[in-house]
Amino acid sequence: MTNRFYLFAFAMSALMAGCGRPETKTPAAPTAPKKPELMAPFRFHKLIEVSPGQSYDVLSWGRGAEEAGSFMILHSDSSAIKYTTTTGDLDGAIIDVYNSDMDVDGNPEILIQAKSKDTTNYTSIYAFEFNDNSKANKLDFPKLTSSQRKGYRGNDNFYIRDGKLMREFPIFNGTGKEAKPSGAKRQLEYGLRGNEFTVKQLSKDSTDVSNKTSNNQPAKADEKKSSDKQSSSSSKSSKKKHKRHRG
């Protein structure tokens, strides 16, 4: 009887201890915060913080056709309590936005890259420089020259390196639908001087190089012909000298 009592008491105490123990829950895996979705009519947004208190919100907006619209640059100067808006018409859709100080004057430049509807230029750049008074000065981005355009079919890649705007694109051989990638790339470096862009080509133009090699081939052939002529003329003169000596 005593043993049964002890067994019963032990079982009850174990049951009570199990009921009082808190349940251990497996911690849920942390989920990445969702990127806030833009509500119509806005299509693109990127925040660029130049310095503490200096930020630029770049947005594109428009209803209807995707290849047309407008852009806005919202400059927030929280230290001076100044807020300005810069707007403009947009050709195509915004691909990316870049920030730099190419002329190293302390005034930031905001560069908007858009995929152009123009099948010749392919890319549109909207550039602005902001001064101390939060005023936006529009900068005219230069178009490709005839030599820079050789073999150009778009697919531009822009990025900032050492404070300069870099541009790379593949070079194609041929024209129209028969154009094929050559495997080479052209690289351009854009700077700023006196509110005007400067352009420097950092890589050789592969189309010019191929033309030079093809142009050099007939030149070598001409040199060979001239050397053959000189050797034949010298042999003739030597024969004449031998004849005179015999006489």
Given a contact cutoff of 8 angstroms between Cβ atoms, the answer to whether 180 and 166 are in contact is no
13 falls in which pLDDT band (50, 70, 90)?
low
Residue 158 token pair: 């822009």
Quick: pLDDT tens for 170-209. 999 987 778 899 999 999 999 999 899 999 999 776 545 4
Question: 30 or 120: whose pLDDT is higher?
Answer: 120
Torsion sign, CA atoms 83, 86, 90, 92: negative
Question: How open is the CA angle 57-58-62, to the nearest 5 degrees?
Answer: 130
Query: Is pLDDT of 1 > 80?
Result: no
Taking residues 80-106, report their average pLDDT.
Answer: 94
Give the per-residue pLDDT at 102.
96
Given a contact cutoff of 8 angstroms between Cβ atoms, the answer to whether 182 and 169 are in contact is no
Give the per-residue pLDDT at 22.
55
Taking residues 68-96, report their average pLDDT.
Answer: 94
Give CA–CA dist 45/61, Å, rounded. 9
* Mean predicted lDDT score pLDDT of the chain: 79
Question: 228 or 200: whose pLDDT is higher?
Answer: 200
Residue 30 token pair: 């942390």
Residue 15 token pair: 């049951």
Give the per-residue pLDDT at 177.
78
Taking residues 137-162, report their average pLDDT.
Answer: 94
Give CA–CA dist 73/138, Å, rounded. 12
Given a contact cutoff of 8 angstroms between Cβ atoms, the answer to whether 59 and 44 are in contact is yes
Give the per-residue pLDDT at 246.
45
